[in-house]
Amino acid sequence: MNYRHGYHAGNFADVLKHVALCELLRLLTAKDKKLFVLDTHAGAGGYDLAGDLARRTGESESGVRRLAAAPRAGMPAAVMRYLAAVAAYDRRFGPAAEGLRRYPGSPRLVRAALRPGDRFVACELHPVDALALKREFAGDRAVEVRQADGYNALKALMPPVERRGLVLIDPPFEAPDEFERLLRALRHAMRRFATGCYALWYPIKDEAAQSFVGALADLEPLRLTLDLGSGEAGRLSACGLAVVNPPWRFDEAMRAALPWIAARLGPRVSAAVDGGRATPAVPASSG
């Protein structure tokens, strides 16, 4: 396990995933019923963009930092809310000297959206990041941090007692069989909890991404993609998020947000929102 999310925090892939995550959480918590959230590959929880790892790549410069510097006029509501969540996390560390310094990982974004009575389990396998994650939520009884394999946790925790759930599966894709593992874990989880909302992040590098999308076809996920248009060898330049059973009107929010984000990130950047069900799931059925 070499992957450390600290190198990539706040990059274009995080922007796509986290804008979508914030919107999913907002829609799923709008209803007055308890929600269970599982983050199978949670990372460290929060990142210092001025720290060693993030500075070595500078990836947030062409990601969240570019968006944070954009004028607010005409900004889609989902982006505005995402940036507000990012800024709220940054402020926990005091007034920033210049620009954005601390970036929330998915567990922090989930935590910010939880209501009393909601339940959240975050799994992280890497010992250093798992320790950081435990420290991030030390004393916070709303968050259960496990240093554990997220796929095993997914097996064990489905179906949640709440019968409403959001599962984020965001693996590092270091292992050659990651797509297969993800698909197996998803199918297993869906046999036990078919109405849950599942958000699956994936890199778009070669035909493996296309096969993955093909393998999901019967589930009719909404697919969000962001492509930097740079195609640099060895560097991730495009990624997607497949959302199975998205809540009602999630697609609308993403159709408004993603083209705007792409235009702000650069002239060669493009975004797409595809797939989904012709008749969107009504709020009650989305977990």
Binding site for ligand SAM (CB under 6 A): 1, 3, 5, 17, 39, 41-43, 105-106, 123-126, 129, 149-151, 170-172
Residue 144 backbone dihedrals phi, psi, to 5 degrees = -105, 110
How far apart are the C-alpha atoms of 111 and 8, rounded to whole Å?
Answer: 21
The question of whether 52 is a catalytic residue gets the answer no
By beta-carbon proximity to ligand SAM, the closer residue of 63 and 281 is 63
How far apart are the C-alpha atoms of 279 and 20, rounded to whole Å?
Answer: 20
The least CB distance from residue 49 to ligand SAM, in Å, is 13
The least CB distance from residue 178 to ligand SAM, in Å, is 9
β-strand 46-48 against 222-227: which pairing, if any? Answer: unpaired
How far apart are the C-alpha atoms of 16 and 90, rounded to whole Å?
Answer: 19
By beta-carbon proximity to ligand SAM, the closer residue of 39 and 251 is 39
Other beta carbons within 10 angstroms of residue 164's beta carbon come to: 22
The least CB distance from residue 25 to ligand SAM, in Å, is 13
By beta-carbon proximity to ligand SAM, the closer residue of 103 and 281 is 103
How far apart are the C-alpha atoms of 123 and 153, rounded to whole Å?
Answer: 8
Spatial contact of 78 and 22, defined as CB atoms under 8 Å apart: yes
Spatial contact of 63 and 15, defined as CB atoms under 8 Å apart: yes
The least CB distance from residue 3 to ligand SAM, in Å, is 5
The least CB distance from residue 171 to ligand SAM, in Å, is 6
Q: Angle, nearest 10°, between helix axes 77-91 and 12-28? A: 100
Closest of 58, 238, 246, 79 to residue 167, by C-alpha: 246
**Triad 100, 7, 49: Cα angle to 5°:** 15
**Triad 273, 274, 280: Cα angle to 5°:** 100
By beta carbon distance, the residue nearest ligand SAM is 105
The least CB distance from residue 239 to ligand SAM, in Å, is 10
How far apart are the C-alpha atoms of 89 and 83, rounded to whole Å?
Answer: 10
Active-site residue among 170, 227, 251, 274? 170
By beta-carbon proximity to ligand SAM, the closer residue of 239 and 281 is 239
Other beta carbons within 10 angstroms of residue 141's beta carbon come to: 6
By beta-carbon proximity to ligand SAM, the closer residue of 5 and 66 is 5
By beta-carbon proximity to ligand SAM, the closer residue of 3 and 260 is 3
How far apart are the C-alpha atoms of 171 and 12, rounded to whole Å?
Answer: 16
Catalytic annotation, residues: 170
